[in-house]
Amino acid sequence: MRTKFLWENTVKHIIVVVLLYLTYGYVKDFFAILATDNIGHQSVIVLSSMLLMAFLFASYTFSFKDSDMRHSLQRFLDHINTAIVIFGCGVLLEISYVAINSQLHQSFTIMGWLMILFYISLVMFDFWDLMRGIRQHENKFD
């Protein structure tokens, strides 16, 4: 069961990364045609940061250990929930990165790498939480 759950989680994260890759072009194009001043870019950065906090709250509130992982439908809903939250965080990170670069008129590489590291930590937390949930329910899978 452990391998099956890890495989499901891996597929979920691959799908989310592909979707994030596809949305980055749209986000970048949107900001290229968006005619706004620095205050507009700053407002977008602040708003995306606030929304990111809401997504993070949702991410860290949910736990696989509180879920009934024996049932496929329950696991599917759990994976959909975490995929939406992680995708939302990823898109908001993309929006912030593009807005910062648009405001600075150059690529802020350090911020980009930090955002990637932050995203990786979200994925790692999701795997860690899944493993914690598996350990919590291991005796129920028999």
Residue 136 has pLDDT above 80, yes or no: yes
How many structural domains does the chain have? 1
Tokens found for residue 6: 């890890």
- Which pLDDT score is estimated for 26? 92
Residue 10 has pLDDT above 80, yes or no: yes
- Round to whole Å and give the CA distance between 2 and 50: 35
- Which pLDDT score is estimated for 85? 93
How do residues 11-53 score in pLDDT, each as one tens digit? Answer: 999 999 999 999 999 998 888 777 667 677 788 888 888 888 8
How do residues 76-127 score in pLDDT, each as one tens digit? Answer: 999 999 999 999 999 999 998 988 888 787 777 888 899 999 999 999 999 9
- Round to whole Å and give the CA distance between 134 and 141: 9
Q: What is the DSSP letter of 139?
A: G
Tokens found for residue 53: 């906090």
59-65 contact pairs (CB < 8 A, 24+):
59/85, 59/86, 59/89, 59/122, 59/125, 59/126, 60/125, 62/129, 63/129, 63/132, 63/133, 64/129, 64/130, 64/132, 64/133, 64/134, 64/136, 65/129, 65/132, 65/133, 65/136, 65/137
- Round to whole Å and give the CA distance between 110 and 88: 22
pLDDT band at 141 (very low <50, low <70, confident <90, very high): low
| pTM of the full structure | 0.86
How do residues 60-74 score in pLDDT, each as one tens digit? Answer: 888 898 888 888 999
Q: Which residues form the domain of 34?
A: 2-140
